[in-house]
Structure 1
């Protein structure tokens, strides 16, 4: 027991040193930084964030499609629960789509198991965006929602540009990234074997842009009273973004 306690103490001390920069960054934002039990990761809670309560975790992956560790984020935005939109790294999307159809397609009927994670079911159920402002972002990510128009309204502008920028370093090809809105919140998970302040800041910046854009979509749909079936009428397809030349 004593040896175990000593090892636990040594691990926490080592983590405290390795994660010092991230702890200082969090505390400077008025957030709480805490190591997870057994020193397998950390948690940052920022209840006073102007966009909404923010929770960040780094630790063992909670999805089978992510190997090793991941960075997870939940941003409480107070969105309508019916606002369901998603962005996914394209190689991961192709892999999960293949898995879903292979596992749940029999003869002429496609059956979606409710135990399957939302992000996998949505790839089959939701409309995918086919026009992006950034060709680079389109080549590296897939976006879907209750309609193409809703997905486009979320991706258009700053988020498309932010995804294109993230594809250069934060989300290289083949690194699993999923970002989605559901239950009123924005969720993000990124495969990340070792945490760093640079990666943490990059993820928060990307998520903040996505969160603000999601709030705009929520506001427009709410004012129009079109949750969710007739949302496409608010953004006619002809008025959606045009790709870069």
Structure 2
């Protein structure tokens, strides 16, 4: 029971004990980058411009009413236009503010406009993309191809605690968290904010999927170390925080 009470502290606001002058931002320490860097030699894929043509359900009331978790997907591929829309809906950058790229305004809210997430994609069936793992470059609205490896499906299934549909879905979103982006501003109050922000991400994915005839399901039950290792993350300064497979579903 004591361990449960300790974990509950993550759910509580700690802003009353934060002195803004004692945060790294208050100390005028360098701000962490708002996006992970990539090398010029890496394979970069341009995404189609986001538009409304992929939307099949325009009534937001219907999207809310019909939204549910889906674990069974059709064998049908997802188009690159549809993937572009889903990425924009979950982390799309509308505006960069500040002379030194201080913050981004996106399609989802984030405490202090810190947006501490990176979007990784396990691609199985997306038109125009080879199978493998990619990362979304939100600032440029592009993808960077990372890797493919043998037995990838088995590794993702194992990391997902045996949930095979996570590995076999046309595309699986895996969001990582770089906590220092938020800690830099909010110190010990950052972590509740990060957890709230991750919910914003996945709810937008649910509604965006519903609008284009796809389905998803929020996955919080995964093996942390195995999932971090799969994406080659250090597990400390960057680690997986949420998983969501996506695929076409039968029309209601």
Pair in the same fold by TM > 0.5:
no
Q: Which has the higher helix share?
A: 1
Return the structure number with greater relative CO, CA threshold 8 A, min gap 6: 2
TM-score, structure 1 normalization: 0.29
Structure number with greater Rg is 1
